[in-house]
Structure 1
Amino acid sequence: MFDNIIVSAAAETADKLSIGDAAITAVFGYAVVFAGLIILMIVLYCTGAIFKSKDAKAKAAAEAEAKKAAPAEPVAETKAELPLAPGSAGHVKLFDVPDKEAAMIMAIVADKMQKPLNELHFISIKEVK
């Protein structure tokens, strides 16, 4: 019952609106939507700022606690560095292979062998045709 009344009232109002009135109504509608979006953006920005400040305070407190609990002794090295393979930084002879492809090939070989690239020694790379 009320649905028919609302629909007929809206239809009569739409027939009575001029182009200028419709434009003003549309502009006010857009203004309300954009104002709501701006308010939502401000709320989200403020919420993010609050959480960032809480996070920074917690991090600073954790660092201060770690400094108090840390011993005064110097930290010993945990792993000795491996020496570089002889000639690993030397030149590689490339035959019909661009530098970019040669670097990719060397990286793939090192990955498949599960060895660091500095432990491998490449002498030459040649494209097989």
Structure 2
Amino acid sequence: MNDIILCGILNRTDPLKVTDALLLALIGIVVVFIVLILLMLIVSLVGKIFDGSEKLKEKHPEWNDKVQNLKAKMTFWKKDKKEEDVASEKVEQPLAKGTCGELKLINTDERDAAMIMAIVADQTNTPLNELRFKSIKRVEDEEK
């Protein structure tokens, strides 16, 4: 197949010229872009199919189970969740009264972070719920 395409461009007895190399590179780039455009069209088509399934579900509530089964089959790339994974997932809970948001723990565990926050609150004589900690990071000592 490559011989058929390249026969018109290249003469096998001559060395590769700059213009021939540029034309060959251009053909390669065009092929890549055509494949990318085809992939883009396929992805948009699948998106429209799923949008249509939502409208279909509104029109025909009795088809809801069939649509859900189809969606479950289409998500084959998602791994099945094990019981341990389900138990370890975060549960969305409302923030406690007086909290100021999330705390990022970097290379430290919750116990050490709680002790650090308690020490800071004690040393500054400030109630813990009035302090805001954005992140706590463990810094390793470098030995020389």
Task: Tell which structure's C-alpha radius of gyration is larger.
Answer: 1
Greater RCO between the two (CA within 8 Å, min separation 6)?
1
**More helix as a share of residues:** 1
> Structure 1-normalised TM-score?
0.40
> Structure 2-normalised TM-score?
0.36
